[in-house]
Amino acid sequence: MDFAAEFTRWYIGAFSVFFGIRTLWRGADTFRAGCYFKAEKRDRTLGERFAAVVARREELEGDATPAARMLGVAAVAIGVLVLIQTIVPLVAYALLCVVLAVTMSYVYSQMRNRSERRAASLQPRTATTTVPGIWYAGGILAALLPLAFAIVPSLVQTQPVVPAVIIALACTAIVYTAARLSQMAALLAGDDPEIELYVDDRLRRMRVSSLLMLAYAVSFVFIVFELAPEHRLTGASLAVGASSFVLLAAFSAWLAVKFFFGRMSDKLPA
C-alpha cells in the first residue's frame, strides 16, 4: 500500500465531505455580514444601531443560501467520488477549488451589482484601498506557481497536468474577485450613514483579505500534495515549495498585524 497516496485520498475525500456538510448546514453564514459584527452588536450604546444596520445590510446583499447549498452538494459529491476512487485526489481538489471560486465570484458579483444601484458614498474605491498592490501581485504569483508542475519537465510527474492548470486558474479567479470586491462602491441604505460606512469598511477589509488568503493557501496546499513522498524532491520542486511557503507566510504575517492593529484602531462612531 502506498501510504502517501492513500493518506492524500482519504484526507481530500474526508475534508471535501466534511466541508460540504458544514456548508449545507451553515454555509451561508460565510457570506453574511452579521458574523463580522458580533462584538459591536453587543455594545451597550451602539448595539441596537449596529443590529439594525447589519440586518439591513444583509437584506441589501441578498440571500446567498442557494449558492451555498449548491457548493455544499458539489463538495460532498466530489468527496465521495474521491473516496470510492472514481477520481484521483488532485483532480478532486482542483474541482473543489473551482466550485469554491465560482461560488464566491458569483455571490460577490451579485453584491457588486447591487452596490452599483444603491451606493451613496463619495469615497473613491480602488483595488488597493483595502490591501496594498504588492499582495495582489503576490497572490497572482502564488496562483501561477502550480503551473510549474505542468510545464517544467523535471517537475511533471505521473499525475495529470490538468489539476495544476485548474488550480492556477481557480486561484487567479479568486485574486481577481478580491480586486473587484475591493473596488465595489459602498453598499448603503441611507438610514444610519455613519454606522453603515463603518460596517462597509470592515466588511470590505475582511472579505478581500479572506479571499486573498484563500488564493495563497489553496496554491500552497496543492504544491504540498505534489511534493508528497512518492514524488521526487528535486531542487526545482523544493524551490517551488519554498516560494509558495514564503508567499503564504509573508501574507499571513502582514494580515495578522493588519488585523490586530486595524481592530485596535477602529473607532466606533459616536
Q: Helices then strands (H, E): number in the chain? A: 10, 0
- 33 within 8 A of 54, measured Cβ to Cβ: yes
Within-domain flag for 46: yes
Within-domain flag for 30: yes
Phi-psi region of 190 (alpha: psi -120 to 50; beta: other; left: phi over 0): left
Q: Compute the distance between CA of residue 188 and CA of residue 186 in angstroms, rounded to an integer.
A: 6
Please give the angle made by the CA atoms of 16, 98 and 31, to the nearest 5 degrees.
Answer: 75
What pLDDT, in 10s, does the model give residues 174-211? 999 999 888 887 777 777 888 888 888 888 888 899 89
Task: Report the pLDDT value the prediction gives residue 136, as an integer from 0 to 100.
Answer: 96
Cα–Cα separations (whole angstroms), residue 105 to 66, 89, 233: 14, 24, 35
Q: How many domains does the chain have?
A: 1
Please state the rounded mean pLDDT for residues 70-97: 91
CA 151 to chain centre: 26
Q: Which residues contact 226 (CB under 8 A, 6 or more apart)?
A: 90, 146, 149, 155, 157, 159, 164, 237
Task: Report the pLDDT value the prediction gives residue 38, as an integer from 0 to 100.
Answer: 80
Within-domain flag for 214: yes
**Which is higher by pLDDT, 50 or 233?**
50
Within-domain flag for 180: yes
Within-domain flag for 270: no
Task: Report the pLDDT value the prediction gives residue 70, as an integer from 0 to 100.
Answer: 92
What pLDDT, in 10s, does the model give residues 131-150? 899 999 999 999 999 998 88
Name residue, grid cell 469598511: 201
Task: Report the pLDDT value the prediction gives residue 139, as an integer from 0 to 100.
Answer: 95
Within-domain flag for 162: yes
Please state the three-class secondary structure of 197-237 as a single string. HHHHHHHHHHHHHHHHHHHHHHHHHHHHHHCCCCCCCCHHH
Cα–Cα separations (whole angstroms), residue 35 to 24, 29, 41, 198, 207: 17, 7, 10, 15, 12
**Which is higher by pLDDT, 117 or 54?**
54
- Top mean pLDDT of 37-51, 79-93, 148-162, 190-204 is at 79-93
Within-domain flag for 181: yes
**Residue 124: is its pLDDT beyond 70?**
no
Domain that holds residue 258: 3-265
What single-letter DSSP state applies at residue 35?
G
